[in-house]
Amino acid sequence: MAVVKAFAYGSDASQLALYLETLGVDYFAVAYTKEGIALRKSGVKTPIIVLHPLEVHLNDMIKFQLQPSIYSFSVLESFIKVSEEQDHYPIHLKFNTGLNRLGFGADELPILLEKLNLQQLQVASVFSHLGASEDLNEKDFSLGQIDAFKKIKKEISASLSYKPLFHLLNTSGILNYSSEAEFDMVRSGIGLYGFGNDSRYDSALKPIASLKSIISQIHHLESGESVGYNKGYTADKPMTTATIPIGHADGISRQYGQGKGFLTIKGEKCPIVGNVCMDMLMIDVSGVACQAGDEVLIFGEHPTAAEFAHTASTISYELITAISQRITRRIVS
């Protein structure tokens, strides 16, 4: 299952899904119905699971042949009503094994199975989600989740007259727990985009996206002059700054300002100075031979999005999924 929610983690969900389809992906996963509809309208034929369906959108799910993750009796009852004219419509059962976010509890299984055996719905898969699969210090917690899921699997397998798919592993789960919990399918999200949540794996993966910009203007500051809003940075000696047309409206948030983050020009690290603006940020290019129009790298293969995000104590997920849709996406091969 390829997870392509959030514009394929900030990239281009439709184009990536169409490409992954040619590679034989069995399922796509999105968070919300609107994302699944966009994939269908782009021509994607592969089954699509909506991980967090909202009841107001259930009719649209059927219209576009999207498959809901059923995580509560409320969603189940609502979907039963809208799918009355459907025959064996595929659904996916989500169980909570410790993340405590969405999902049925194991204690709800008897009532759930009773309801399902009375309805014309087909359980296509049963799944849960690991809460700390990237953290080997929490191995006992992850193994506890795996054990809980195995018990759920055993009870469901004994109760249904057919065999649904069972799946538990996300990217870090695939990398750390495949021998314990591979089951019938795995779900790769951040791994598809080149990140393994661990330096051991990151070096073996290739980030698929680079974020680049250009220099709009060069400024020469004297000691005592300031840069940007609220005098976010004051030069303590003569320096040169470059203004870059990207800002917090584009996903490079204010947390990267004040020297925490850096951009790269001709292989040189150039610290962000002052506060990141809505549409621009400024960097220190003192000693770097550059001019207006030169290319600037925010992240790519080096530094990666994970490395750039680390400068502001955050993670690659937050950074790449926040990149604004106003930024042009260009697919290269």
> SS3 for 92?
strand
Per-residue pLDDT of the chain (333 residues; tens, 9 = 90+): 999 999 999 999 999 999 999 999 999 999 999 999 999 999 999 999 999 999 999 999 999 999 999 999 999 999 999 998 888 999 999 999 999 999 999 999 999 999 988 778 999 999 999 999 999 999 999 999 999 999 999 999 999 999 999 999 999 999 999 999 999 999 999 999 999 988 888 888 999 999 999 999 999 999 999 999 999 999 999 999 999 999 999 999 999 999 899 999 999 999 999 999 999 999 999 999 999 999 999 999 889 999 999 999 999 999 999 999 999 999 997
**Residue 118 confidence (pLDDT):** 76
Residue ranges and CATH numbers for the domains of the chain are 2-197 (3.20.20.10), 211-321 (2.40.37.10)
**Residue 198 confidence (pLDDT):** 87
Rounded to two decimals, the pTM is 0.93
Q: What span, in angstroms and rounded, lies between the C-alpha atoms of 235 and 271?
A: 13
| Conformation bin of residue 149: beta by default, left when phi > 0, alpha when psi is -120 to 50 | alpha
Both tokens assigned to 66: 């999207």
Judge contact between 263 and 294, C-beta under 8 A. Answer: no
Judge contact between 71 and 47, C-beta under 8 A. Answer: no
Residue 197: phi and psi, rounded to 5, are: 60, 20
Strands 217-221 and 239-244, by their bridges, are: antiparallel
**Residue 199 confidence (pLDDT):** 83
Give Cβ neighbours of residue 140 (< 8 Å, ≥ 6 apart).
Answer: none
Give Cβ neighbours of residue 121 (< 8 Å, ≥ 6 apart).
Answer: 79, 80, 83, 88, 89, 90, 91
Q: What span, in angstroms and rounded, lies between the C-alpha atoms of 246 and 203?
A: 28
Catalytic residues: 5, 229
Centre a 10 Å sphere on the Cβ of residue 330 and count the other Cβ atoms it contains. Answer: 7
